[in-house]
Structure formats: structure tokens, C-alpha cells
Amino acid sequence: MRIISIFIILITITITMQSQSSKYNKLTKEEERIILNKGTEAPYSGKYYKFAEDGTYVCKRCNAPLYKSNDKFDASCGWPSFDDEIEGAILKKTDADGRRTEILCANCGAHLGHVFVGEHYTDKNTRHCVNSLSLNFVPLEIPKQKSTDTAIFAGGCFWGMEYYFENAKGVKSTTVGYIGGKTQNPTYEQVCSHTTGHIEAIEVVFDTQETDFETLAKLFFEIHDPTQLNRQGPDVGEQYKSAVFYINEEQKQITEKLIQILENKGYNVVTELIPASTFWPAESYHQDYYDKKQSRPYCHFYKKIF
């Protein structure tokens, strides 16, 4: 019975050790020498010694975050150096030599290196001297900047609007269509019957690295007459009203600012600000109309007013 009990205990210990080891990353022989057996890598040999990217240094064994890159500094000592740790990430204890202070991962006990104070390398007066083999690095994720944005303008016949916008700097594409009404997927004939409530408009997709909404909104006011109510030149009707269909609050505020500038210049602006709704592309024969006709607009003319 005693032999059986000892056998069961040994099996239990083995299973426990296997379970514990499975929680951690697999290490190479050299990493085991450093991390588990408290060794030291050769100076100036580690991949993170002169490493200077932004991000977080984590434990090679368990992936626990240990150090932030902005706490790393060059001590010219041959190993990565940090003057601070992430709160609660590091354990410190007297080294086996009785002189130095060993630093370990607080999560898994992995050996990292040693910490020294009083050397005056930085204002924090602390140097965590860490083996590169004890670390992995997670680069800082930089949010991707939105490369394109959209604006929707209405200022009379959409043919003339497109003529000027499709050649503006930073504009990636233009689409003429209908917006603001109640009918799903309206046709040109339905819009012209004045029963759908739609307005002729243009959707402009632009590169935010080359232009911005304010620049395009200024162009909008300079290629049509924002003082004409429900018409533009010879085109008369509610479908030709002047309006900015803003997609966000910033677009609304920018348009309000430009309208105020125009009113201060003496313009009686009738342009409406309307929250954007579904934009329905017009029929294909309306797209790029003046390019196809090789002609110029008859009701839109550029006039610099800003």
C-alpha cells in the first residue's frame, strides 16, 4: 500500500508540473539557462540592447507586461536598461551572491537580471539591468488614420457641381445623385416631378492627406450662388436648393463658420445645413456628364470669395 501511495504521489506531482509548464511559453536551452537557472547572457549580444522602438517589453516565459519603452535608456553597460517598471510587474530579492538584488517576473518568477540604485544615470537613479533573452517586445499600435472622407453638397444642377469638384486637388471620386427625400432609389424623372422630396447633390470622396472638408466647402460656395433660393441660374425648383448635408458635427460647425464669414461680407446666404441621409446615385448617363459632352457648365461659374 505504501508503494502504491508513493506512486500516486509521484504521478500527481508529475501531472502538476506538466500542467504548470503548459501555462508558459516553450523556451530554448539558452533561454532556460537564463530564465530558469538564473544565468546571464553575454554583454552587447542581446537583441534589445540598442533597441529603440515604442511599445512594451513582456516576459519571455509568460507574456506578462514588465517595462514600457519610454522607461528604457542607454547605460552603455551591454544589457537593456530601464529606470522604472510597470507597477506590480517585478519582484525583487537578494541575489544568491548576497550582494546584488535580483529581479524576477512577478507573474511567473522568471529571472530577468538585477537592479542597481545610486548610479545617477537618470533622475530616477535606478537601473534595471535585464537580459534580452528574458524579454519579448510588443510594438505600440498606432491607430490608423482615416485616409479618405466624404462630403455631400447640393448647389443646383449636379452636372455643374461635379465639373468643378472632380478636378479639385485631393478629390478621389465624385458621384452625382439624390438625397433628402422619402422614395427609395428614386429616378431622375421622379425627382423632377417634385413628389419625392429629393435634391440633386454630389457625393465627394477625398484624400484627407491632400485636402480637407473646409477647403472643399469653400469651393462649394465659390462655384454656385448661395443667395439663390431653390434655384441656380436658369434651373428653378426645390431640387436645386443650396444645401450641405453634413456627415458629422465637425462638418456642420465648419459650414456654419463659412456661412458666417459670407454673411459678414454682405451675402444673404440661404444655404441649408441638413444631416446626411441616404445618398442615391443617379443614373449612369448623369455621371461625368460634362466630361462625356466635352463642354462646360452653363449655370455654374467659379468666383473666389474667400
Query: Identity (one letter) of the amino acid at 212?
Result: D
Q: Kindly provide the residue ranges of all beta strands, DSSP E only, lying in the chain, ordered along the sequence.
A: 55-59, 65-68, 72-73, 81-82, 90-94, 101-105, 111-117, 126-130, 135-139, 148-155, 171-179, 199-207, 231-232, 235-236, 242-246, 272-275, 280-281
- Please give the grid coordinates belonging to residue 115: 537592479
pLDDT band at 17 (very low <50, low <70, confident <90, very high): very low
Give the single-character DSSP code of 39.
Answer: -
The predicted structure's pLDDT at residue 23: 82
Neighbours of 271 (CB within 10 A): 25
Mean per-residue pLDDT, 13-31: 70
Residue 16: pLDDT above 70?
A: no
What's the length of the chain? 306
Task: Give CA–CA dist 145/283, Å, rounded.
Answer: 33
**Residue 15 pLDDT greater than 50, yes or no:** no
Quote the crossing angle between the two packed helices 213-222 and 158-165, to the nearest 10°: 130
Least confident of 15-24, 27-36, 68-77: 15-24
Quickly state the pLDDT bin for 233 (edges 50, 70, 90). confident
Query: Which domains occur in the chain, in start order?
Result: 27-139 (2.170.150.20), 148-293 (3.30.1060.10)
C-alpha span between 245 and 152 (Å, rounded)? 5
Please return the burial class of 53, using the count of CB atoms within 10 Å of its CB with bins 0-12, 13-18 and 19+. exposed
- pLDDT higher than 60, residue 81: yes
- The answer on pLDDT for 40 being more than 70 is yes
Question: pLDDT for 172-204, tens place per residue?
Answer: 999 999 999 999 999 999 999 999 999 999 999
- Of 153-157, 263-267, 293-297, the one with minimum mean pLDDT is 293-297
* 72 band by pLDDT with thresholds 50, 70 and 90: very high
| pLDDT at residue number 143 | 72
- Of 57 and 142, more confident: 57
Four-point Cα dihedral 22, 26, 31, 37, nearest 10: 20
Q: Identify the pLDDT of residue 2.
A: 52
pLDDT at 219 exceeding the cut of 60: yes
Taking the C-alpha atoms of residue 14 and residue 222, their distance in angstroms, rounded to an integer, is: 80
With a cut of 50, say whether residue 57 has pLDDT above it. Answer: yes
| Residue 129 is among the residues annotated as catalytic for this protein | yes
How many Å apart are CA 236 and CA 214, to the nearest integer?
Answer: 28
Q: Would you say residue 8 has pLDDT above 90?
A: no
Write the CB contacts of 82 (distance below 8 Å, at least 6 apart in sequence): 57, 67, 71, 72, 73, 127, 128, 130
SS3 content of the chain, % helix, strand, coil (to 5): 25, 25, 45
Mean pLDDT estimate for the chain = 92
CB within 8 A of 1, min separation 6: which ones?
none
**Which of 43-52, 139-148, 167-176, 214-223 shows the lowest per-residue confidence on average (mean pLDDT)?**
139-148
- Mean of the pLDDT values across residues 151-157? 97
Q: How confident is the model at residue 10 (pLDDT cuts 50, 70, 90)?
A: very low
Active-site residue flag, 105: no
Alpha-carbon torsion (55, 59, 64, 65), positive or negative: negative
Percent of the chain with pLDDT strictly greater than 90: 86
Active-site residue (options: 59, 77, 108, 129): 129
Looking at residue 287, its pLDDT comes to 96
pLDDT at 11 over 60: no
| Matching residue, cell 445645413 | 273
Q: Is the pTM of this model over 0.75?
A: no
Per the residue annotation, which of 105, 157, 192, 299 is the catalytic one? 157
Helix (H) or strand (E) holding 7: helix 2-22
| One-letter amino acid for residue 71 of the chain | D
